[in-house]
């Protein structure tokens, strides 16, 4: 009996081995992919001795910022000046390829400028640790990543320590609650790879909620209303303007509605500022901005 049982027990150990072997293969492939990423040169340099993370009121200033993606390539951004401080909202608008997301990448320290200066409370942005910069300047990228996880876990990425009440509060502010309540497992519902089980508007709202939960001193929102139908876009734009009122925000957008509520509008084209001012000033100036306000409700192309 002992012999028979020992033999059976041995099979129990062996039976799981094909599955383990399969997992080993997948893990090796993942390790190779991570290795490739780690071998890439870092687009930003970290200071040897970073400055302490700034606390209290934050003031970010870009002056004459230039960016190129290749050493001999064209300037994606050529001489951008921006002033982001408490309570002030700035909109960055312009056609596709103008350099809007490039400006966001510089602010979030994903890319170092080739010329000009970016300062955070008067000190060079590059003198802070990149991760510290991203706790004070944060937001929502143009293509926010939704993970193959539950609604709760996807939102909590914004601030891993957030309580259930805080998650509910931010979901209410971004009008996600009716959708969450309608889900079969509510907050515990998986959203599928890349949020496949969500609509475009729900994905954008989730990304916005995540950014608000992180609560950075300077909020950078890159095309938060892109890829939505006109009705959803109008509703989200209205909510967005309410949610960002009174906080330092850089709003990158193709949307031409609601810009009269923004403190400064900066129009970029081919990396250069072509117009800047308030909505009223730009309307009086009668340039491209005025033409677009009189025409379609969003920047074409």
Ligand X SMILES: Nc1ncnc2c1ncn2[C@@H]1O[C@H](COP(=O)(O)OP(=O)(O)OP(=O)(O)O)[C@@H](O)[C@H]1O
Residue 242: how many CA atoms within 13 Å on its side-chain side?
Answer: 9
What whole-number distance in Å separates Cα of residue 196 and Cα of residue 190?
10
H runs (alpha helix) in the chain: 2-15, 17-39, 100-107, 130-136, 151-156, 164-173, 177-182, 200-214, 230-243, 279-285, 288-294
* Distance in Å, CB of 154 to ligand X, minimum: 23
Separation CA 149–CA 60 (nearest Å): 34
Task: Return the number of the residue (100 or 276) whose C-beta is nearest ligand X.
Answer: 100
Residue 102's binding partner among Mg ion, ligand X, none (Cβ under 5 to 8 angstroms by kind) is ligand X
Among 52-60, 126-134, 135-143, 231-239, which window interacts with Mg ion (CB under 5 A)? 135-143
Which token pair is 119? 């300062």
Stretch that binds Mg ion, among 39-47, 67-75, 101-109, 292-300 (CB under 5 A): 101-109
The count of other CB atoms within 10 Å of the CB of residue 192 is: 13
Q: Which does 96 bind (CB under 5 to 8 A by kind): ligand X, Mg ion, none?
A: ligand X
Residue nearest to Mg ion (CB): 101
Position 253 contacts Mg ion (CB under 5 A):
no
Applying the rule CB under 5 A, the residues between 217 and 236 that interact with Mg ion are: none
97 binds, among ligand X, Mg ion, none (CB under 5 to 8 A by kind): ligand X
Q: Which of Mg ion, ligand X, none does 225 bind, CB closer than 5 to 8 A by kind?
A: none
CB 221 within 8 A of CB 251: yes
Nearer to Mg ion by Cβ, of 137 and 155: the residue is 137
The verdict on 102 binding Mg ion (CB under 5 A) reads no
Q: Using CA atoms, how far apart are residues 113 and 108, in angstroms rounded to an integer? A: 12
CA-closest candidate to residue 137, choices 112, 117, 120: 120
Closer residue to Mg ion, CB minimum distance, 90 or 151: 90
**β pairing state of 115-120 and 123-124:** antiparallel
Beta carbon of residue 273, minimum distance to ligand X (angstroms, whole number): 13
Angle in degrees, 0-180, between the axes of helices 164-173 and 200-214, rounded to the nearest 10: 130
Please, what is the minimum distance in Å from the beta carbon of residue 99 to Mg ion? 8
Q: Which of 253, 206, 205 is nearest to 232 (CA)?
A: 205
From the CB of 96, what's the least distance to ligand X, in Å? 3
The entry of ligand X, Mg ion, none that residue 199 binds, CB within 5 to 8 Å by partner kind: none
**C-beta neighbour count of 207 within 10 angstroms:** 27
Q: Tell whether residue 101 is a contact of Mg ion (CB under 5 A).
A: yes
| Site residues, ligand X (CB under 6 A) | 69, 76, 96-102, 142
- Residue 99 binds which of ligand X, Mg ion, none (CB < 5-8 A, kind-dependent): ligand X
Q: Decide if 287 contacts 296 (C-beta within 8 A).
A: no
Closest contact distance (angstroms) between CB of 104 and Mg ion is 8
Nearest to 250 by CA among 124, 88, 96: 88
116 binds, among Mg ion, ligand X, none (CB under 5 to 8 A by kind): none
Q: Least distance from C-beta 91 to ligand X, angstroms?
A: 13
Distance CA 250, CA 81 (A): 13
Binding site for Mg ion (CB under 5 A): 100-101, 142
């Amino acid at each position: 009996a002992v012999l028979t049982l020992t033999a059976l027990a041995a099979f129990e150990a062996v039976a799981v081995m094909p599955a383990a072997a399969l997992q080993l293969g997948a893990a090796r492939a993942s390790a190779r992919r991570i290795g490739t990423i780690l071998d890439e040169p870092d687009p930003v340099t970290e200071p040897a001795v970073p400055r302490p993370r700034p606390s209290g009121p934050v003031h970010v200033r870009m002056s004459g910022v230039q960016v190129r993606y290749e050493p001999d390539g064209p300037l994606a951004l050529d001489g951008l000046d921006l002033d982001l401080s408490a309570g002030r909202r700035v909109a960055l608008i312009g056609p596709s390829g103008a350099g809007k997301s490039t400006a966001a990448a510089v602010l979030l320290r994903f890319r170092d400028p080739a010329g000009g200066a970016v300062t955070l409370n008067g000190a060079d942005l590059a003198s802070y640790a990149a991760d510290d910069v991203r706790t004070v300047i944060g937001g929502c990228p143009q293509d926010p990543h939704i993970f193959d996880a539950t609604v709760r876990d996807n939102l909590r990425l914004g601030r891993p320590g957030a309580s259930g009440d805080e998650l509910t509060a931010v979901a209410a502010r971004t009008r996600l609650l009716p959708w969450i309540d309608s889900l079969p497992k509510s907050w515990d519902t998986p959203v599928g790879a890349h949020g496949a089980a969500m609509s475009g508007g729900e994905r954008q709202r989730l990304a916005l909620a995540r950014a608000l939960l992180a609560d950075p001193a300077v909020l950078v929102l890159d095309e938060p209303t892109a890829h939505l139908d006109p009705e959803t876009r109008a509703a989200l734009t209205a909510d967005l303007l309410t949610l960002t009122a009174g906080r330092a925000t850089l709003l990158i957008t193709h949307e031409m509605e609601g810009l009269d509520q923004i403190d400064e509008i900066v129009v970029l084209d081919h990396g250069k500022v072509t117009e800047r001012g308030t909505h009223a000033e730009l309307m009086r100036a009668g340039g491209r901005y005025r033409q677009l306000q009189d025409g379609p409700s969003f920047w074409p192309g």
